[in-house]
Chain A
Amino acid sequence: MTREIVLEIPARADYLGLARQVVAAAAAIQPRVRDERIEDLRIAVSEATTNAIEAHAHLGSDERILIRCNLGDDRIDVEVLDRGGGFDPGEVESAPAAEDPDRLEWERGLGLPLMLGLADETSIEATDGGTAVRLTVFRPGPAH
């Protein structure tokens, strides 16, 4: 059985905390989800929502951001949907390696590796005029 929670927020940074709280609280409803995994999801959702907010700010758009949280029997899927003009992860330049002296010149580009490292699955797709980021965390099966 899938249960869906939907949150729509203005594309403003001061709503980031609300998005994180709602997704974390929804994930915590599910049994067998460790606190560490909820923290992973909280950070990954914040990254995806931050990207969405920045995409809208760039356009000066007042569109809203949709966050859909699906609680499945064996997984939690969170989709962050914006209409901020699209984002191609293939065009994101990689930051230099940590030991490279030029690493300090790169303050951006950390959100994507964090999402990839924190969620079990991350997909980023262009939609009609925007971007859909889907983050998945799998739940362990019941103990026998």
Chain B
Amino acid sequence: MLFDVQVRPHGEWTVVSVVGDVDLASTPRLRSTIAAVVRSRSPRVVLDFGGVDFLDSSGLGVLLGALRRVRAADGVLRVVVAAPHVRRVFELTGLDTIFELYGDLEAALVEPLQAAPGAAPGATSEVEAGA
């Protein structure tokens, strides 16, 4: 599938929708798009990879850079991953524990913000109190 990336505001969020294959050929455009979003808009970003059929380590590298930029701006980054083999790439590299991953865009947009930016979903005060 041909790679494409679109940016649109959605309430307090900016949604970056990506379709196609995310690899060494497409990551330069993805990286510059995300950098521009974090610079010029609210750093509350949902990266919608629901239309991504292929993701390799080049794409993961861009996502790590995006998370670094967003956190530096006190923002939040959520990532929508639909295809099981795309999610598996996160799991095999352990990055599923770093990123807030969602199964669809709606879930990513409705989940309330955590008290601490970048906190993993489900990290509640009860967990902290019990630690």
Contacts and interface: CB of A to CB of B under 8 A. Distances in A.
A111 B56 contact: yes
Interface string B21-40: 10111000000000000000
B104 to A, nearest CB: 20
Interface stretch (A77-85, A97-105, A123-131): A97-105
Nearest to A100: B98
Given A46-B23, A53-B24, A111 B98 contact: no
A24 B25 CA distance: 19
Contact of B64 (A42, A43, A103): A103
B89 A43 contact: yes
Contacts of A36: 84-85
**B interface, size bucket:** 20 to 34
A16 interface: yes
B65 interface: yes
A39 B62 contact: no
B66 to A, nearest CB: 10
A113 B92 contact: yes
A108 B56 contact: no
Contacts of A13: 23-25
B89 A104 contact: no
B57 interface: yes
B92 A118 contact: yes
A47 B56 contact: yes
Contacts of A47: 56-57
Contact of A98 (B21, B56, B58, B97): B97
A105 B21 CA distance: 24
Interface of A: 13-14, 16-17, 20, 36, 39-40, 42-43, 46-47, 50, 53-54, 97-99, 103-108, 110-111, 113-114, 117-118
21 contacts: A13-B24, A16-B25, A17-B21, A20-B21, A36-B85, A39-B85, A40-B85, A42-B54, A43-B54, A43-B56, A46-B54, A50-B56, A97-B94, A98-B93, A98-B98, A104-B67, A105-B68, A107-B65, A110-B61, A113-B92, A114-B57
